[in-house]
Amino acid sequence: MGVKIGFVGTRFAGTDGVSLESAKWAQVLWDHRHVSHWYSGLSDRDEATSMVVPHAYFGHPDIAWINRHAFGTRTRTPDVTQRIYALADYLKGTLYEFTRRFDLDLLIVQNALCIPMNLPLGVALTHFIAETGFPTIAHHHDFYWERDRFSVSAVTDLLWMSFPPALPQIQNVTINSFAQEDLAHRRGVSSILVPNVLDFETEPEPADSYAKNFRKDIGLCEDDIMFLQPTRVVPRKGIEHAIALVAALRDDRCKLVISHASGDEGDEYLVALTELAESQGVQLIMCDKLVDEKRGLTSDGKRVYTLADAYSQADFITYPSIYEGFGNALLEAFYFRKPVLVNRYSIFVADIEPKGAKVIAMDGYLTKDVVSKVQRIIDDPDYREEMVNFNYELGKSFFSYSVLRRKLRALVTNFTGQDHL
C-alpha cells in the first residue's frame, strides 16, 4: 500500500526552485504508488488533490504587513505579536483539516520551516506537529541566516522556535553540505543531504523543428554563437562576467542571450548590464517575453518557447553566479549537454566540483586562461563533446532521480518501518 503524503508550502506554482523540486519529489513518490496532496497559498497543482488557503501565501496583504513590522527593526509592538499568533492559530486549524480531509500519513514541508516568508505558517506548523506528533519531513532550500534581509529582526524568538523547530517528529533535509553543517552547528539539528536532481535517466528530447526557430525568432543569424545565461537578472547571478567573457572573445558572432526577466528585485541591475554591454560592444538579447513554462503564442502572435528549447539551441552556458543555494542551471547545462562557465560559488566548490565536473571555472574574475579555454570549446568540437558527455554521466551518477529515490526511500521507511519505495 502506498503512503498518502501532504506537501505543505507557501506556494506551489511557477518555476521557482521550491515548486520545481517538490514536483520532482512527488513524481518519484508517485512512481511508487504514493499519492501526493498539496497545501499552499498559491497553487497550480490539481484542484482535486489540493487545498488552497490564501493566508498561507507570503504575498497575502496580512502576511506582507507582518513582514514589514517583523524585519529591519529590533522590537515589535504587541499587535504584531497578536496578529502573528492569531493567524498561526487559524492556519493550524486548516492544517488539521488538510490532514483529515485527505487522510494523510506523512507531511513534507517545503521551505516553510526554514525561511520566514510566512511567520504565522511556520508557527502553525510547529504547533501542529508538536500537538499531533505528525510524521514530517522538512525540506529546507534556504535558511534565513543566509539572507541579509532577515538579519535584523523583531521576531528572533519565533525564528528560534520555528525556523526550523527542533522536534523529534521531524526529519530534516538540506540541499547542500554547508546548510547541513550550519543547521547542526546553529541548532544542534541533524539533517539528511538530498541534492537537487534532474531526470538524467531520461535523455532530453532532440530539438524539433519548433525549437529550431528559437534562434531566428530572437534575432540570431545562422552562424552566430549563442551564449545563454539561463537565470533571472539579479546581482548575485554575476552577469557582468558573462558580458566580459563575450567581449573578451572579440568575435562579432558571439551573442549573449538572457532567458529570464529581472523578477522582483527592480531593474537597476538590468540597466547597468545594458550600459556595460553597450560600452563593451556586446550584443545583449533579453528574450524573457519569449520563454515560458509552456510553448504558445504571445499576445502579438510571436512564438513562445520553453527553457528546454532555449538550452537546445545554445552553444555555451554562462553561469557566473556569486552565490547559489544549489545551482539548478548547472545541472540543466549538464543535462542538455552544453559546455558551461562557472564562477566557483561555495556550493559548487563543496558539493559539485569534487565529483569531477568538467567546466570552465573562474574564481571571481575573468582571466586570459578562462577566455582561451572557452575559445578552445568553440573551435574544437571533439574536446567539447568529450566534456559534455562526461558531465552528463556525472549527473546520472550523483544528481539523478535514482539518487532521490534512494534518499526518499530511507526517509519514508524511517516513519513507516516498511520499505515502500
pLDDT tens, per residue, the chain with 421 residues: 689 999 999 999 987 888 889 999 999 998 878 999 999 999 999 999 999 999 999 999 999 999 999 999 999 999 999 999 999 999 999 999 999 999 999 999 999 999 999 999 999 999 999 999 999 999 999 999 998 899 999 999 999 999 999 999 999 999 999 999 999 999 999 999 999 999 999 999 999 999 999 999 999 999 999 999 999 999 999 999 999 999 999 999 999 999 998 866 678 999 999 999 999 999 999 999 999 989 999 999 999 999 999 999 999 999 999 988 889 999 999 999 999 999 999 999 999 999 999 999 999 999 999 999 999 999 999 999 999 999 999 999 999 999 999 999 999 999 988 665 5
Q: Measured between alpha carbons, how far apart are the two ends of the chain, in Å? A: 10
Q: What is the pLDDT of residue 196?
A: 93
Residues 310 and 373 in one domain: yes
Q: Could you tell me if residue 203 is inside a domain?
A: no
What is the distance between the alpha carbons of residues 179 and 191, in angstroms, rounded to a whole number? 9
Sign of CA dihedral 212, 215, 220, 225: negative
Sorted by sequence, the CB contacts under 8 Å of residue 218 that are 6+ apart come out as: 257, 285, 287, 290
Q: Which of 334, 356, 332, 352 is nearest to 343 (CA)?
A: 352
Indicate whether 106 and 171 sit together in one domain: yes
Residue 187 shares a structural domain with residue 43: yes
Q: Is 340 exposed, middle or buried (0-12, 13-18, 19+ CB in 10 A)?
A: buried
Residues 136, 9, 105, CA angle at the centre, nearest 5°? Answer: 30
Sole residue written with cell 528530447: 205
pLDDT score at 416: 82
> What predicted TM-score, i.e. pTM, was given to this entire model?
0.89
Q: At what angle do helices 119-132 and 61-70 cross, to 10 degrees?
A: 100
Predicted pLDDT at 251: 97
Helix/strand/coil percentages in the chain, nearest 5: 50, 15, 35
Residues 35 and 50 in one domain: yes
DSSP letters spanning 364-409: SS--HHHHHHHHHHHH-HHHHHHHHHHHHHHHHHHSBHHHHHHHHH
Contact assessment for residue 96 and residue 125, using Cβ atoms and an 8 Å cutoff: no
Q: How far apart are CA 250 and CA 93, in angstroms?
A: 62
- Residue 147 sits in the same domain as residue 234: no
Q: Are 156 and 220 in the same domain? A: no
CATH label of the domain that carries residue 233 = 3.40.50.2000
What's the pLDDT score for residue 191? 97
Residues 184, 329, single domain; the answer is no
77 and 193 in a single domain? The answer is yes
User: How many folded domains does the chain comprise?
Assistant: 2
Rg (alpha carbons) of the chain, rounded to whole number = 23
Q: Are 32 and 56 in the same domain? A: yes
Domain annotation covers residue 202? no
Please report whether residue 206 resides in a domain: no
The residue written with cell numbers 515502500 in the block is 420
172 with 191: CB under 8 angstroms? Answer: yes
- Domain range for 20: 4-197+401-416
